[in-house]
Amino acid sequence: MSRPDWPAHLWSEMKRPCFLGSFLASLAFSTVFGTLPTWAGEKPPRFSTVAPGIAHATFEVRPADGEPFSGHAFTIDLGEAELRLVPAGGPSSRQTVEQIASPFPVVVAVNAGFFDKEGRAMGLVVGEGGRLAVSKQKNWGALVVTGREARIVLGSDIPDQVADQLIVQGIPRLVVGGRVPSLKPQVAERTAVCAGVGRVVIVVVSRAETTALARFLAEPPEKSGLGCSDALNLDGGPSTQLVVRLPTLRLSLPGGWGVPNALVATPGKR
């Protein structure tokens, strides 16, 4: 992928030691809390239900050929929980995920799409309020959710007239049909999503190399991975943020700036 295909802010310096510190603190919190198992790389992540339709796992990955990374994964059952794409406001508005998720008392929320230098959402974005951005990127991937079905496709495969309730584009596609494609080497904090039958998996990680993360996502559980058949990289670096307010779990991983929209999961269906 050539540099002009990527949002400009992806190429900025993204050295934020405080993010890794907050990850380690959250993992320690999970262990002390007593209901959230961690993973040391020899066993698959073990998910625990933390709200109706939402399960959570923490993990630590130690690639043989790279630096270790850690993070959180949330499985959203689209039959039991609601997944929304919520904008920060107007076309050029940006807010932190904490601010975007503030109307929801019980929630799991992460940053979602990319934005340009004016702060406008990039790609095709459909969410709360309808079409939030219409500059469809044919070579980017897209998370598409319709009812209880989720899939990750190329932008070029999305028709011009859409009836989907949620679309957000990202780059690169980390896993395609169970395979890890050739990926540009880059180390950064990351937000990613996997799509499967009736579910979406949201993943937030500390500084990870692109291919190492993709391999972890693609590996089946018996090989200590998440078993994602299709996965998409969303905005990362200082954009990566996580807010969790659930009866048995509270987490806050702040980012470095505001973002144009967020993926917001809430227990129960509307």
Full DSSP string of 123-190: EEEEETTEEEEEE--TTSEEEEEETTEEEEEEGGGS-SS---SEEEEES-EEEBTTB-------EEEE
User: Which segments within 52-140 are labelled E, that is strand?
Assistant: 54-61, 69-77, 81-87, 107-111, 123-127, 130-135
Q: What is the pLDDT of residue 10?
A: 52
d(CA 209, CA 170): 17
Q: Identify any residues that bridge with 131 across adjacent strands, giving them in sequence order.
A: 126
Sign of CA dihedral 118, 120, 122, 123: negative
Q: What is the DSSP string of 26-43?
A: HHHHHHHHSS-----SSS
Q: d(Cα 21, Cα 154) in Å, to the nearest integer?
A: 35
16-25, pLDDT tens digit by residue?
Answer: 443 444 444 4
The whole-number pLDDT of residue 26 equals 45
- Cα–Cα nearest to 156, from 138, 175, 176, 183: 138
Better-predicted residue by pLDDT, 26 or 207: 207
**What pLDDT score does 3 carry?**
42
Q: Is the pLDDT of residue 33 over 60?
A: no
Peptide bond into 7 cis (omega under 30): no
Residue 180 — φ and ψ, nearest 5°?
A: -90, 115
**240 phi and psi angles, rounded to 5 deg:** -65, 120
Q: Which residues pair with 69 in a beta bridge?
A: 61
Please report how many Cα atoms fall inside a 13 Å half-sphere around the Cα of residue 259, on the Cβ side: 30
Q: Strands 199-209 and 69-77, how do they pair?
A: antiparallel
The least confident of 35-39, 96-100, 190-194 is: 35-39
